[in-house]
Amino acid sequence: MAQIFHRAANTLAKATLYGIVLLIAAICIIAWEVNNSYNVYLGEHQVQPVPFSHKHHVTDDGIDCRYCHTSVETSSFAGIPPTHTCMSCHSKIWVNSPMLEPVRESYLTDQSITWVRVNELPDFVYFNHSIHIAKGIGCTTCHGPIGDMPITYRANTLYMRWCINCHKHPWRYVRPKQYVFSATYKPPPDQDALGRKLVKEYHIQSPRIITDCYTCHR
Ligand code: HEC
Ligand code: HEC
Ligand code: HEC
Ligand code: HEC
Ligand code: HEC
């Protein structure tokens, strides 16, 4: 009996099958990435009770992060400023601004402003600001160009693989400590060389913070 299919058809069928499998895999990966970035509202502005602008306060007025985020160097939390911090200036300037009405009301009624959280980890993850600050990791490395933000948004996923990526290659991100709070710092062209020097100088120990799950899940 004559062959119904030519021998080459076999190869063709195989190739098509592999092709389909690869295509499906590619679609899944793309869908997953898209889904991931939607899940965390990457780059999307939150609607806040007061349209607080880091661009105004940090870049135009030159106020240091620690004036408002007072515990960032000393504790795990950076802290969100209480209303009286705002009123230290806004009882004197822009006192009639309608945008500041919720701030004045909060001050008079003693009810704190309910800011919408922008960066938040699940409860089963342990994070600590002070250690990162002490080891020369800048605010903008994790929080993006905060000094350009009229409304605060999340710049990074905060996924586990994002944390681990830096814990594996800290020399790519570390900066001289005097620039940790700078909103305008740009890494130099020789970041790798500088970074490797700083990793030694600041005694950054990466192996433990990659392999030990207890570091972040305790
Ligand atoms: C005048 C006070 C003030 C200063 C100065 C300030 N911030 Fe803020 N920051 C706030 C307030 C109020 C919020 C809460 C509203 C919001 O998310 O925009 C906030 C929120 C944030 C958030 C998001 C918090 C969350 O919900 O995840 C980050 C990150 C942040 N600030 C970083 C910085 C950095 C970095 C600097 C210095 C370069 C800085 N801030 C300087 C008042 C300030
Ligand atoms: C150290 C002084 C200082 C502190 C503290 C401060 N501000 Fe301001 N704020 C300013 C100045 C100066 C401006 C004028 C903005 C500019 O640069 O154009 C301003 C402007 C604003 C505006 C815009 C008002 C308008 O009508 O355009 C808002 C809203 C505001 N601040 C909210 C806050 C909140 C909320 C806090 C507390 C978390 C705060 N500010 C803390 C100095 C301060
Ligand atoms: C290594 C990355 C990293 C660095 C560096 C970093 N942050 Fe954060 N920040 C985070 C993460 C992650 C969260 C969410 C923490 C949580 O939900 O427990 C956060 C949350 C915050 C918050 C919300 C309140 C809080 O404490 O949870 C503020 C405000 C903030 N950061 C300000 C700052 C400032 C100011 C600096 C620099 C002095 C800074 N961060 C440096 C990763 C970082
Ligand atoms: C840009 C770099 C960078 C990113 C991003 C980063 N880390 Fe770190 N982390 C470091 C460095 C550097 C150290 C200090 C390591 C040392 O020498 O102990 C550290 C230390 C820590 C420690 C303290 C370990 C200990 O017990 O001494 C914890 C906890 C931690 N990181 C959690 C996180 C989590 C959770 C995330 C993600 C949400 C994260 N880190 C993202 C750089 C980073
Ligand atoms: C540097 C910090 C860090 C270390 C070290 C770390 N994790 Fe995580 N892990 C995170 C963060 C942040 C999240 C939450 C974000 C996410 O789901 O990616 C997370 C989430 C998880 C989740 C939940 C995943 C999900 O989809 O909800 C599991 C399971 C997990 N980690 C297991 C581990 C194990 C096992 C280890 C040790 C090999 C480990 N982690 C080490 C930071 C870390």
Name 37's Cβ contacts closer than 8 Å, sequence gap at least 6: 157
Q: Is 200 part of a structural domain of the chain?
A: yes
Site to substitute for ligand 1 among 69, 116, 182, most atoms within 8 A of C-beta: 69
Residues 194 and 150 in one domain: yes
Residues 28 and 128 in one domain: no
Residues 74 and 169 in one domain: yes
Q: What mean pLDDT value characterizes the chain?
A: 87
Evaluate if residue 68 carries a pLDDT over 60: yes
Q: Is 84 part of a structural domain of the chain?
A: no
Domain range for 145: 69-78+121-216
Q: What gap in Å lies between CA 17 and CA 97, rounded to an integer? A: 66
Q: What gap in Å lies between CA 83 and CA 105, rounded to an integer? A: 10
Distance between Cα 141 and ligand 1 center (Å)? 14
- Nearest-CA residue for atom 17 of ligand 4: 204
Residues 131 and 25 in one domain: no
* Residue-wise pLDDT tens digits, 10-41: 665 666 656 656 665 565 455 555 555 545 66
Q: Is 199 part of a structural domain of the chain?
A: yes
Q: Is 127 part of a structural domain of the chain?
A: yes
pTM comes to: 0.90
> What total number of domains does the chain contain?
2
Question: Do 166 and 190 touch, CB atoms closer than 8 A?
Answer: no
Residues 125 and 32 in one domain: no
Task: Work out the percent of the chain whose per-residue pLDDT is above 70.
Answer: 81
Q: How confident is the model at residue 135 (pLDDT cuts 50, 70, 90)?
A: very high
Distance between Cα 180 and ligand 4 center (Å)? 15
pLDDT, average across residues 80-96? 95
Q: How confident is the model at residue 210 (pLDDT cuts 50, 70, 90)?
A: confident
* Residue-wise pLDDT tens digits, 153-191: 999 999 999 999 999 999 999 999 999 999 999 999 999
Residues 129 and 31 in one domain: no
- Nearest-CA residue for atom 42 of ligand 4: 167
Tell me the ligand closest to 121's alpha carbon.
3
- Nearest-CA residue for atom 40 of ligand 2: 86
Q: Is 142 part of a structural domain of the chain?
A: yes
Residues 14 and 74 in one domain: no
Ligand 1 in contact with 103 (CB < 6 A)? no
Rounded to the nearest 5°, which phi and psi values hold at 154? -85, 130
Q: Is 110 part of a structural domain of the chain?
A: no
Residues 128 and 190 in one domain: yes
Residues 167 and 73 in one domain: yes
User: What is the dihedral angle through the alpha carbons of 91, 93, 97, 100, rounded to the nearest 10 degrees?
Assistant: -50
Residues 73 and 29 in one domain: no
Ligand 4 in contact with 167 (CB < 6 A)? yes
- Nearest-CA residue for atom 22 of ligand 5: 160
Query: Closest ligand 1 atom to the C-alpha of 152?
Result: 18
Residues 204 and 162 in one domain: yes
Q: Is 109 part of a structural domain of the chain?
A: no
The number of residues in the chain equals 218
Distance between Cα 181 and ligand 2 center (Å)? 19
Residues 171 and 73 in one domain: yes
Q: Is 21 part of a structural domain of the chain?
A: yes
